[in-house]
Amino acid sequence: MEKSVSLDRIIASEHLQIVYMPESVGANGEKRKVCTTDVNRPGLPLLGFFDHFDVNRIQILGNVEMSFLTEKSGKERTEIFDNLFSRQIPAIVVTRNLPIPEELIASAQKYDIPVLASNRPTSRFMSSLINFLNLQLAPCITRHGVLVSVYGEGILILGESGVGKSETAMELLKRGHRLIADDAVELRAVSDLTIVGSAPELIRYMIELRGIGLVDVRHIFGMGAVMDTSRIDFVVELENWNDSKHYDRLGLETQEYEILGHKIPSVTIPVSPGRNLAIIIEVAAANNRQKRSGYNAAEEFNRRLMKHMSEANAEDNL
């Protein structure tokens, strides 16, 4: 099923003014669906060139387009707008609070096309709109886990039920870090490089602790303890300690966890009585941040070790 977002949600998110809304699409545009993250400034279509024109895109008129249209006669503007709106575009947005020609409204009424207005500069509005559409229309999956922000790193904590994910998240909150989602994490591929996580609206800001029940983190720790979304920078997989399993002690082994085709750096942390998982995850977050900055402690140790061994062999050969 193709994903879509209703026009009323776009209007609310981007603080758009409704200039004209056809009855057929609802009072606020809730019946009009947008199914593409792309938008368009119809420069060539205003000249009548519609080859490769995508009728599913929201069309945006800025200062350049409106300046061109003001030079045309009323009859020419009517022909231009009829030609554009007859293709049944989702909506048209005029930016910068620019005056809207009467011919545009008339053609919109003729073809049932919503007309919206923004007071923002065109480039800023387009950037904001594309970001919103990318988030809403991105491929999405749900994972059972916890998402926290630790030192600015988005940490996705995974593991079997009862392993201690929520308790670890609560300890991290007490240490000044932030919660994004508990129990169910919605993961979206918003670009070729970025996975973003958030909580389902029903359980947003909530955390479940066995024996206590649901806790509203926002009310207990304040708004500074929660975030609505976060990029996934690192994945921590918690598992009960297994004596027969070998755990990496140096950090030279590179682990990755795949989400929607993206490979995210990860680590497996064994859980046993007495281990402070919150502190371990803090260190893992700081270490991952260092690695992204170009410093790898394990590789530095290995370099020192190889140098020491080389020097020792040289002394033995003397």
For CA atoms 219, 223, 228, 234, the dihedral sign is negative
Count of C-beta atoms within a 10 Å radius of residue 298: 16
d(CA 118, CA 98): 9
Contacts of 187 (CB under 8 A, 6+ apart): 140, 141, 142, 143, 156, 195, 196, 197, 232, 259, 260
Paired tokens of 195: 């996975």
d(CA 273, CA 265): 26
Pairing of strands 17-20, 5-6: unpaired
Catalytic annotation, residues: 144, 165, 183, 249
Instruction: Report the number of secondary-structure helices (H) and strands (E) in the chain.
Output: 10, 17
